[in-house]
Amino acid sequence: MKRYHPKSVRRWILEKLYERYLENPTEMLGPEDFLESGKIDKKQLAANIHYLYDRDFVELITGYNPPLFVATRITPKGIDLIEDSREFDRLFPPFPEGIEEETAEILETIEQLVIEADLTPLDGEVRKSLQRDIQYLRDELSRPARYWRHHVINQILQWIEESTQTLDKNEYMQSLYPLKKQVEELFTSEKNI
């Protein structure tokens, strides 16, 4: 199975939900409606649908089988985005190329980090701080890659590392070090960011 860039997957999901909305605004799609095409697997679907949900582009009905969902549909914000083709192409380019294509692995790793953060045994303010920092990093990485700010990304990664310093990295937050390495490799290979 070919691995598509997360932005391409998100674009495809939104387009599929938009088509369904035009056919029947009250009908929702389930995971099988996306997986039957063979274009993406469960892991890609879960990470990208939750990203779209967190950005308020889709609604999700979750069941007892996280991280998958029972049903989803596009929100008014998602509809407005698709109907503004310029903004839609900017956020979710049909064919990411250059620096955008090189970021695919980073975007998948940050989504894995979001899931791992929810499973940490941290409590109270430390947990809230970790979740805020990861969301801040996620927001920074959701911008077009040419606008990524290396110093901001490194600072957020440092905050995340400080929040998780008491955890066993082999058991929790396994994606943190691969993410740091991927970001560093990208910035050393691409001096134009």
Residue 64 vs residue 136, higher pLDDT? 136
- Check: pTM over 0.85? Answer yes or no: no
CB-count burial class (<10 Å; 0-12, 13-18, 19+) for 24: exposed
Q: What is the DSSP letter of 60?
A: E
Strand partners, 29: 72
95, 7 contact by CB (below 8 A): no
Looking at residues 63-75, what average pLDDT do you find? 86
Average pLDDT over residues 108-118: 88
Mean pLDDT value of segment 131-146: 90
Burial of 22 per CB tally in 10 Å (0-12, 13-18, 19+): exposed
**191: pLDDT confidence band, cut at 50, 70 and 90?**
low
Percentages (nearest 5) of helix, strand, coil residues in the chain: 60, 5, 35
Quote the CA–CA distance of 161 and 106 in Å, as a whole number: 17
> What is the mean predicted confidence (pLDDT) over 160-168?
91
